[in-house]
């Protein structure tokens, strides 16, 4: 008895496809939540002046730029979180492969530009 196949055969890359993205979304969300609480507390309990604002992002501990490192981790978490979310939207709703690929590329370029602009500002202070 022969089986006839209609259409293309779709390859599944493996079990738990998408699990890493799911876990990364949760971890980056936790990082952003913790940083947001710290940021909110700092904003509530210190007067908002230019000097305090700069100090919040540039404070050091034993010569280590802790403020810059924390904001960098938070911003990279934001960019990675955004990439996974937007990538999943493109994968779910944009069916033509060429258009989806173009949107992936544009999204990555936009996020890379945001990260470069962020680094230029924060690490220049």
**Treating both helix axes as pointing N-terminal to C-terminal, what angle do 97-122 and 66-93 enclose, rounded to 10 degrees?**
170
Q: Which two tokens stand for residue 28?
A: 């980056």
How many residues make up the chain in this entry? Answer: 125
Is 16 annotated in some ligand binding site?
A: no
State phi, psi for 14 to the nearest 5 degrees. 150, 170
Q: Which two tokens stand for residue 87?
A: 């990538």
Q: From the CB of residue 35, how many other CB atoms can be counted at a distance below 10 Å? A: 17
pLDDT tens-place string over residues 51-101: 988 888 888 999 999 999 999 999 999 999 999 999 999 999 999 999 999
Q: For 19-123, CATH number?
A: 1.20.1300.10
Tell me which residue of 79, 81, 72, 78 sits closest to 119, measured CA to CA. Answer: 72
pLDDT at 18: 81
Contact between 98 and 84 under an 8 Å Cβ cutoff? The reply is: no
Query: Can you give the pTM of this predicted structure?
Result: 0.81
What average pLDDT is seen over the chain? 89
Alpha-carbon distance 50 to 33, whole Å? Answer: 24
Is 55 annotated in some ligand binding site?
A: no
């Amino acid at each position: 008895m022969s089986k006839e196949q209609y259409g293309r055969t779709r390859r599944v890359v493996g079990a738990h496809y998408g699990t890493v993205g799911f876990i990364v979304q949760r971890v980056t969300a936790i990082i952003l939540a913790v940083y947001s609480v710290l940021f909110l507390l700092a904003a509530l309990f210190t007067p908002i002046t230019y000097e305090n604002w700069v100090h919040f992002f540039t404070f050091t501990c034993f010569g280590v730029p802790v403020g810059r490192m924390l904001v960098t981790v938070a911003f990279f978490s934001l960019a990675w979180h955004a990439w996974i979310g937007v990538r999943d939207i493109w994968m779910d709703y944009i069916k033509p492969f060429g258009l989806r690929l173009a949107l992936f590329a544009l999204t990555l370029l936009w996020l890379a530009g945001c990260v470069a602009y962020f680094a230029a500002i924060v690490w220049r202070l």
